[in-house]
Amino acid sequence: MHRPPPVCAAVIGGSVALFVVDAVLSQGATLRGGLGPIFQWLALYGPLVQEGQYWRVLGCILTHGGPLHLAFNMWVAYSLGTAFERAIGSGRFLLLSLIAALGSSAFALLFNFEAVTVGASGMILGYGGAMLVTATREFRRDIIFWLVQVAVLSLIPGVSWAGHLGGFLFGLPVGVALRFGPRVFARAAPLLLAIAGAVVYITAHPERFRG
């Protein structure tokens, strides 16, 4: 197993570290399906984001609901993200990660405002969306097959289909920008990041934007 590049290493290392610390602070409750203090502080929950706890929009990405949830997401983040980060560079990959994470949280807030949402899977779906646009024809078939599998898993009760969909949809335009080259990406990425942030704000405050 090769050492992951910086952004993937930060996502994996940060997620594992937070889970371990939460398990210690909760005296092992998180290992048995309980909720630790870090989970409660970082999990995405619409009413609390609405009150101004905006750190949850990104913090939820590094928070997981149990050891299996953590292990599965980190395995996919490593296997999918490592190669893509090396291919496009860590700076571009970081922007993709942020845009996809914000898009994932925005859709989770839009469709499941009062649900508690955690996990990196929405951001990882953003990687899939970007790779779908940039991949070769042969590799694109593998990406489509994987996306179909994830779509089926998203139908399981308790899985955030909205977060998955949001991450994927926001990853697509990043992939388009990557395909057009560095100059286009340098102009498009900040705009996409701003749009993702604006959508998060709108979905976190639906009362301000109702007609």
Burial pattern 174-199, b for ≥16 Cβ within 10 A else e, equals bbbbbeeeeeebeebbeebbebbbeb
In this structure, what token pair is assigned to residue 118? Answer: 């955690």
Coil vs helix vs strand at 180: coil
CA distance 84 to 129: 12
Which residues on neighbouring strands pair with residue 44, listed in sequence order? 117
- 149, containing H or E segment: helix 137-153
Q: How far apart are CA 41 and CA 62, in angstroms?
A: 12
26 is catalytic: no
Count CA atoms closer than 13 A to 203's CA, side-chain side.
Answer: 27
Task: For residues 141 and 15, give the distance between their C-alpha atoms in angstroms, rounded to a whole number.
Answer: 30
- 164 catalytically annotated: yes
Q: Which of 26, 104, 105, 121 is catalytic?
A: 121
Cβ-based neighbours of 10, under 8 Å, separated by 6 or more:
none
Enumerate the active-site residues: 121, 164
